[in-house]
Every structure is written in structure tokens, then in C-alpha cells.
Structure 1
Amino acid sequence: MTESIYAIGTVGTPWGEAEKALWLSQQSIKRSYLEHVASQLDAIPAGFQLVCYGQLDYRSFGASEYPLYAVKSKVWDPAKPSVLVTGGVHGYETSGVQGALAFLQQQASEYSQAFNLLVLPCLSPWGYETINRWNPKALDPNRSFISNSPVAESALAMAYVHSVSKHWLAHIDLHETTDSDNSEFRPAKAARDGTVNTNWNIPDGFYLVADTKQPAPDFQQAINEAVAKVTHIAEPDEQGCLIGEPVVQPGVILYDTKAAGLCAGMTNAAFVTTTEVYPDSPRSTPENCAQAQQAAIAGALDFLLKQP
């Protein structure tokens, strides 16, 4: 592991408004949310409806207005268990977005008789367009699923999800761990916060982050078994860890999702997981990573179908 010093700011001093403005000035639009994500939602299957649950107005940051979309079961049946799928909480993590869209287009109908389904495929469209972990205010949506959240991406998603249902059986949150975590995002976070960054080892492969308070090991195992048919599961490092956390079962680590303000902690679902796939692996492709995310959703739902 190596320490990395970021180009903006003074070591040991948290960023002020000047440093945040300098960081923002270095961001640029690299791809289109409307083209890659929103336009794909024209093809949702019968039995589902497209909902615009909010709008992000980032024109004052030199960007655009972004409509936020969800796809939900058209008939929400209180007698059915409800399952939430989220992607693009970190906009740069492409396979989560594309995996959620592929699931909607190819598989959601298969599960619609058994479950109420709600899919938010891209919570952070500005992050998607600029290939960024943060929003334009240099805030991380995936540490901001908290009461009175200062992050619009998180607050709008929470408000909508809670308005749809207070009772969720499961939540699958789709993420990636990338080489840019070490080259850009972790050093930037340390600089922003006035701390010193120590890079972690990037796991080569797919793994899951379960909730410390309710780890549901059989659920995690079933997802990894489904994904293993598509791509490889990450092996622990020499210390028996993935991203610095002890491996508690093959391909699974634990976080306290609510305490950390993670998206996966926004409900009280009994079955919760955060997927992580490594798109920079020489053994993977973008298509393969999206397929892994899709397999994770299907594996989770197949497991739930077998529960009493």
C-alpha cells in the first residue's frame, strides 16, 4: 500500500470553497446520461411504469438539469414482497447502471408475478456524465443516505423509495471497485478532508458487501454462486481482506451500512447487499461486468423465491 498526495489543497488542511471550485473546474462532460441511460428507459416491459421522481438542477455548476428516473411495478400489490434495486449511486461505476437497465429490459418481467419491483438505475447522472464519484459540491452520495441529507441525489432517492413503500424484503445496490479508486478518488477524498490517504489493494473480481447488522450469509452465497457462472469471484489478499476489510465468507465483507450512510442502508430490508465488480481486470470486459450485475440481481431474486 502506498500513500498518494492529491494535486489540490494543502496536506493536512481540509478544502475550503476555493479548493472545491478548483476541483469542479477540472471536471468535464465525457458521456451522455440522456443518451446512455434515459433513452434506454423507453423500452421498459409491460407491467412496469416509468416515474420521474425528481430533478437535479446543476446549471449553476456549468452543467445541466437532470431528470431522475425510476421503474416500478405498475400494480403495487401489498400482498407481494417488495424488492429495491439501485445503480449509479457513484456515477462513474458504469456496470451497475447498465446491469440495472439490462435486468429491466430482459428479466424484470420474469419476476413481476412474485415481487413488487422498484429499480433506480442511475441515482447520480452528473457523476455518470463526468465519470465521478462525487456530485458537483464534492460530496459523496454513497456516504449521505442519512436524515436531512445535504446531497440531493441521496435525499431525493430516499424520499421517493420511502413514499413507495415502508416495507422492503430486499435491496440490491450495484457498484464497482476500480483502479481509479486509488489513482483519483481516494486521494481526492483525503485531500478534501485534510487527511492522509493510504491506498488499498483493488480486488480482481466480483465481491459483495453485506450489512454488519444483518449479514444474511445464505443470501450472499446465492448471489456469488449466480455471478460465478458469469465472471470470477475476488480472492482475499495476503491479510485475508478485500479493500482492507476481513473476508467473512468467500467473496463477502461487512460494512455497517446505516452507520456509514450507504445507499444499501436506506431501508430496513432483511436482505441487503452491495455488489462490487472490477472493470479494470484483464479477465473482464464492460459487457461481462454488466452481465455480472444482472446475474447478481437475478441470483438474489431466485434465492428469495425459495424462502418461506
Structure 2
Amino acid sequence: MWRRLASQLVLAFFLMVLGHIIISYLPFPSVPEIWVNSKPYFDKQFLFFVLAGFLAQMVDGMLSMGYGVTSATCLISFGVNPVAVSAAIHTSEVFASGISGYSHYKFGNVNKKLFRHLVIPGVLGAILGAVMLVFLGEKAGKWLMPIMALYALFLGFKILYKAFQPSPTNKKVKRVGWLAGAGGFLDSFGGGGWGPIVTSSLIAKGRSPKYTIGSVSLTEFFVTLASALTFFVTVGVSHWNIVLGLLLGGGIAAPFAARLAGKLPRKTMMIAVGIMVMVWCIRMFIKSLS
């Protein structure tokens, strides 16, 4: 059922984006003129965009977090304007998270019961966060970032500590819906945090890293899509060469990342998750103070 719903949502989002492009470029120029105008965008730098998408999706697919941090770091190091970086990442992440979620499902990394508990609260939280951000303004979300970063930093240390302890039993985590709702809200309103908050909380409570990462990655598609649809209606999209590069690289990396997520040892995955959470926390804390 979720696959049919996901396909319909992606089609709806694609048609909205396509309609936006058509309206923006009416009346259409001739084909030679389109080629002349678009050719400069597909240069050597475009290959760097593909590389950024590949690296970002490898990290996100294996750890269920880090797509924004990794791709933003790569793109900014390539000299891309930060405004263009933000717009391109939000657009491309919809499609990249869809490919990643499907790959995790295909390789058996998804706990269906956990997914059902996460998806609806996560989507509702994402919509609420996006709507509030649109009405209150971007600066209103910045006060949340230090608090969220410190909380996730604590979880990162806790995950690292547990990585070197004996394997725990798979514990039942209470109030998963509230956790997903908070993660979705913070991801939209604060500019990020779904993976670091939800994944790290579940793993820190003793959930299996493999199934947690797979289930959270699949849910992330619906959360990201809900957020992106809300933002798209209000601000539109741009910088298509960057979006296309990220999509190509992410599409190539997604199956490999999902495969590795199911094969890596528990200790290795927990160490990687803990380190990624702490890197994200430090980056977001510094960003919130600047």
C-alpha cells in the first residue's frame, strides 16, 4: 500500500514541479536556444554535483542521517552559493530519500511495525513545522537549533558508549509517535534533524541499528516530501543543474548504501552513527550561534 501511495505522491510532486517550470518559461524558446542556454551548466562543475550527491546518499543511506550535512559541505567547498545549496538540497532530497527508502525495503532493512508508528506523526510534524516556518519566518527556527544540537550530542555520546558494550536485547520504545512528530517538526522548522533525532534516539534505546536505519530512511521520504510540498507551494524551486547532479549521484549510491546498511556489523554502524550525530551537532551548534 505504501508503495502505491509513495508513487502517487512522487507523481503529484513531479507534476507540480513540471508545471512550475512550464509556467516559468512560457513562451518556450526554440530547441537550439534551449541547448545554448543550458549547455554552460553541464560543465566540469556538474560532475562535482554528481559526486556530492553520491557521497551524501552513501552516508545517509548507511546511517539514516547526514544527507544535508554531507551535500552542503561538498557543494560549499565547490564554491556554490549557500542559498543555491539550501534550495537544491531540499528539492533533490525528496527523490533521493525515495530511492533510498525503496532500496532499504528491497534489502529487508525495514521493520513494518516501526515504520507504521513513525510515518503519520512524522508527516504531520513536518507539515506543521513547514507551515509555522513560512508564517513566522526563517529566523524563528534558529533558537531551536542549539537545544536540539545539545540533545542529539548527548545521544551521540550515548550511542558511542553502547557501541562498546555487549549487544542489548531489542527493547520496546515508548512514545515513538511523539518522537517522530518532534523529528518531523524540527526537520522542517529548524532546517534539519530527522535522522539525528529519531535514529539516534531509537538506537540509544536499544533498537537494532539495521532495522532502525532502514525504517527511519523509508519514513524520511514521506517526511521530506510533506515538507518539500509545503515549501514548494510558497517559494518554488530553482538551480536545476545542482538538483540534477545531486539526483544522479544519489540515485547511483542509494542501492549500494542500503546494501551496506544491512551487512555492516552492529558495532561499526553504531560508531558511525555516533560520530555522524556529533559532527552534525557541532556544525549546527556553531551555525546557530553565528
Structure showing the higher helix proportion among its residues: 2
- TM score, norm. by length of structure 2: 0.27
Q: Which has the higher contact order (CA 8 A, sep 6+)?
A: 2
TM (norm. structure 1) is: 0.26
More strand per residue: 1
